[in-house]
Every structure is written in C-alpha cells, then in structure tokens.
Structure 1
Amino acid sequence: MTNHSAATPLRTPPAIIAGIIAVSAAASAFICWLVYFHTPTDVAGTQLRSLPLVNAVLNACSTVALLTGYRFIKARNVAAHRTAMFTAFFFSSIFLVSYLVNFALHGETKFNRLSAWWPFYWKLLASHIVLSVFALPMILITFFLSLTGRFPAHRRLARYTYPIWLYVSITGVIVYWMQSAIH
C-alpha cells in the first residue's frame, strides 16, 4: 500500500481513462445506430408520446443543477457543489435512458426544412450532437477524478466539462422547443 502525501498528487490510471473513453465511444456508436439505422417500433407514436417533453424537462433540471453546482463551488461550498453535480448527473443519466427509449420507439423527429428557422435549427442541433459526444467521456472522467480525490486534475478538466455540459443541456431544451413549436 502506497502512502500518498499532500505533496504527491495521485496519478490517474491511463487504463481507467481509456476504459471511460471506450465505453463513451460505444455508447455514441449505439446512439448513432439507433438514430440512423434502427427501425422505430412505434412509428405511429402511440406509446409514450410525452418522452420528448420528459427529455426536455430532464435537460432543464440538469441545467438548474449545473448552475447551482457552479454557484456552490464559487462559494467554496464543496459538499453542496458535490450534491448539485450528482443531481445534474442523475438527471442527465435519466435523460439518456429516456432519450434512447424515445428513439427506439419513435425514431428521429423531422424538422420542416422549409421553415425560416431551419438554418438556425440544424446548426444548433449539429453543435448539440457533436458536443454531447464529447461531453459524455468528459463528464465521466471529471466525476472519476473527483470521486478518487484527484482534485487538481478534476478542477482542470471541469473548466472545460462544465460549459460543454451546460451548453448541451440548454440546447437540448431549445431543440425540443423548436421541434414542438414548428412540428
């Protein structure tokens, strides 16, 4: 057993980071398959039609928890920050499950390409999708660093993870709103 002093920072095992990235890549590949290749099981939309609204609410709850967590860490209230971030992680995790169920059942929501909002919508959606792919491993690694006491590394990565996660959460709500308003 190694005794780590405050002067000796804990090193992050590369295998764990590689594993998190591999799991994240597999999850992203599964979502890609689900969105673009899987045939929806309820094309008529008769089952769980409220899932897109549930997803938007979960994203909004994650956003509130993220903003609250940021406020707490700025006030140096680490315990409250941790609780808020676990809350954001909880809502984002439930969102991911609900999102997958929605896509498995209903497939992709089509947006009217003739709408005046189309140029803004597709750019927003594209940035949301690309950043969500990067957010997943970043969130998991940031949590790993915190949970294992690697706080300097946690803080360094959280500076990038937080704004990306916040952007993905907020744009998820905006994408839902645009789809429901135009659709």
Structure 2
Amino acid sequence: MENNSLEQRFSKFIIAVSILIPVVVAILFGVKLKDFGYNVEPLSFLPPIYATTNGITAIILIAAVVAIKNGKRKLHERLMTSAIALSVAFLVMYVAYHMTSDSAKFGGEGIIRYVYFFILITHIVLSIAIIPMVLITYVRALAENFDKHKKISKITFPIWLYVAVTGVVVYLMISPYYVY
C-alpha cells in the first residue's frame, strides 16, 4: 500500500511537470534576451554540446538496459539517474541557446527536406510525450513497484532512446546551416 501511496503522492507533480516543461519551453523559445535590452552574446557554441549530451544520453540508456539485464540494479539506477540529469542539462542548454540566438533554418532541398522535418516533428512530439513516461517509470522504481516499472519501461525506453538519437540526427542535419 505504501508503494502505491508514493506513486499517488507524485502523480500531481508528474502531471504539473509534464505540462509546465513544454509550455515554459515553448514560451522561452520565443523569448530573445536582446529584445528586452540585454546585451548578451549568442551562445552559438551550445548546439554541438547539447547534441553530444543527447548522444551520451542514448549510450547511457543502452548501458542501463544492459546493466539491469545482467542483474546490476544499483548500476542501472545510477545510469538512469544520469540519463535524467543529462536530459535536464540538455533542456537548459537548448533553452539558453534559443534565448540568445536566432534559430537555424534548414536549407536542404528535395526529399532530404521531408526526411528532416519528419525526424524533427517526431522528435519534438515524442520529447513532450516522454516527460511523464520517464517520471512515472522513475517513480515506480523508487516505489519498488518493479512489475509496473518493468511494464512501462518497455515503452519508455525505446521512445526515450529515439528522442535522444534523433536529437543528434537533427543537429547533424541542420549543423551546416548554423550561423556562427
């Protein structure tokens, strides 16, 4: 009963965070600090760093699955906590970049343009959907409700991995069009 209680205590938090993060990011995405009189240098060095952060997150997610399949629960816990921390760091850098710099416009033409936008749109939509999934999965592990944790993690893992990998792919595809 206590384990369900832990999940119930976090449920409102998960809902709030899952709504607030996309809303705040969308609002901040449109905020340019220079428009408010702040003389800040564009943080144009951040995109390769946050793309690398996505790549490391993908590697850590895979390592975490390998760890749990090999019975290394503590290592799995540490890796998953690291993946969450890296995702938060990515988000902070992403928002900081967009608050100080104009967005790069993809310049590819033909079929590659459609491929890029398909990857970008699915990346964005799934990056919003993954927020509550990661939080629910994590809380179920904290509550030691491992049956439910395992069940949802089989859905959460591939989506989170897709978001992390496509974050790198989107960066690689748009990087030639960044203005430094």
TM range (shorter): 0.7 to 0.9
Tell me how far 1:87 sits from its aligned partner. Answer: 1.7
Q: CA deviation at 1:18?
A: 3.0
Does residue 16 of the first structure (1) align with residue 10 of the second (2)? yes
What's 1:138 paired with?
Answer: 133
Q: Aligned ranges for residues 82-101 of structure 1 at < 5 Å?
A: 82-101=77-96
**Deviation of the 1:117 alpha carbon:** 1.6
Corresponding residue of 2:161 = 166
CA 1:40–1:114: 2 relative to 1, 3 Å: farther
Q: 1:129 to 1:167 in 2, by over 3 A?
A: same
**Where in structure 2 are the equivalents of 1:1-183 lying within 5 Å?**
10-11=3-4, 13-14=7-8, 16-35=10-29, 37-39=30-32, 41=34, 46-112=41-107, 114=109, 116-183=111-178
For the aligned residue pairs, the C-alpha RMSD in angstroms reads 2.3
Q: How far, CA to CA, are the matches of 1:51 and 1:40 in structure 2?
A: 16
1: distance between equivalents of 2:108 and 2:176? 14
TM-score (norm 2): 0.86
- How far apart are the structure 1 equivalents of 2:25 and 2:108? 23
Residue type at the aligned position of 2:54: N
How far does residue 142 in structure 1 lie from its aligned partner after superposition? 1.1
**Is the 1:66–1:85 contact (alpha carbons within 8 Å) kept by the matching residues of 2?**
yes
Once structures 1 and 2 are overlaid, which stretch shifts more, 69-78 or 113-122?
Answer: 113-122
Is the 1:62–1:169 contact (alpha carbons within 8 Å) kept by the matching residues of 2? yes
Q: 1:11 is aligned with what amino acid? A: N
Structure 1: how far apart are the matches of 2:15 and 2:132? 6
Q: Percent identity?
A: 31
Does the 8 Å CA contact 1:40/1:103 hold for their aligned counterparts? no
Q: 1:101 to 1:164 in 2, by over 3 A?
A: same
Give the TM-score of the pair, scaled to structure 1: 0.85
Compute the displacement of 1:113 (Å): 5.7
CA contact (8 A) 1:62 1:88 kept: yes
Farther-moved stretch of structure 1 (161-170 vs 20-29): 20-29
Describe the SS at the equivalent of 1:41. Answer: helix
Alpha-carbon offset, residue 133 of structure 1: 0.2
Structure 2: runs of 5+ lacking an equivalent: none
Q: What secondary structure, in the 3-state scheme, does the structure 2 residue paired with 1:117 have?
A: helix
User: Structure 1 regions of 5+ residues with no counterpart?
Assistant: 5-9
